Every structure is written in C-alpha cells, then in structure tokens.
Amino acid sequence: VHALEQTSRMPAHVLIQHGTCVGPLTVESGKAGNELKMTTPLMLPQGHAFSKGDWVFVTFPADGAVVDVGNTTGPSLTYEGELSGFLDRPSGMTVKIAGANRDVLVKYSGQTCRVDRAANRVTFFRQVDALKNFCSDSGKSEVGWIRRIVLASDEGG
C-alpha cells in the first residue's frame, strides 16, 4: 500500500530521479502469455533501483497516474507484475503481469507505459521469512512468545 500511495502522490519525474520509475516504455508481447517486453530507444536511466524479481506497477498510458490495481473506471490503468529480466544494453525490461493473460495484454502492444518499483525482492522474502518464523509452531523461534499471545487472545484467553 505504501508503494502505491508514494507512486500516486509523487510526480513521475521525481520518481524517475529517485530511480524508482521508468518511462515512457513501448510495449510488445513477451515470450510467455502474461509477459510484456518494454523498450526505450535510449538506455534505462543510470542509477535506476530496479532488479530482477522486483514487484512493479505497470501503468497505461505512460503519462497516466498510478491507480489501484483493478480500477478500470479512470483514464489510466495499473497492473502489478514481477520484473523478470532486462533487455540488452539495457534498453528495456520484461515484466510478468499478475492475473492477466495474453488475450488481455495484446491490446497494449505498441502503446507506452511507465513502470514503478513496488517492492524489492530481498525485502519481500525477508518479510515472508519473518512471517513464517512468527507462524512456526516450533519452540525454537525467538518470537514464539508473541505467537502464543496472539493465539491466546484469539481463543479468548
């Protein structure tokens, strides 16, 4: 939610300067059904903060505002996806769009979009590991006492 709020409140040129936004990118269909290949005639900005595996927002058109995923009523449309790789030089990237297939995405071929970084893969996996550790039933967890308190409060104890 924080990333969506940040990208919707800050102008794109500020996010581009911070390295968390790239655009405009021209879209083509990728290899997989839910993959989009996005290119720029120039190289991606030096110092961009994107890395393979990052969770990203893809917004159409490139000058559109980032909106809640699933909001189809406004002038712009935002999808979520995983950055699956970079193209040569690097002049672009490929993104696997979550919850969309080729039939939905083919209409964007030839259009421009912007890509905003939503979450870093390493940070995401650290959060997942922490959640797994928290939810673990083993007594070895350093935070096991928190789990017991939460479960006790759910049971009314």
pLDDT value at 9 more than 90: no
Q: Which residue has the tokens 């709020």?
A: 5
The helix/strand/coil state of 17 is: helix
Domain spanning 2-119, CATH architecture:
Beta Barrel (2.40)
Query: What is the rounded CA–CA span in Å between residue 3 and residue 22?
Result: 15
Residue limits of CATH 2.40.30.270 in the chain: 2-119
pLDDT for the residue 115: 92
> Mind listing the pLDDT tens digit for each residue in 78-94?
999 999 999 887 789 99
Q: How far apart are CA 86 and CA 154, in angstroms?
A: 46
Helices then strands, counting H and E runs in the chain, come out as 5, 6
**Cα torsion angle, 134, 135, 141, 143, sign:** positive
15, two tokens: 């996010």
- Backbone φ and ψ for 79, nearest 5 degrees, come out as -115, 160
In which residue are the tokens 């083919």 written? 106
pLDDT tens readout for residues 30-39:
888 899 999 9
At 118 the pLDDT is 86
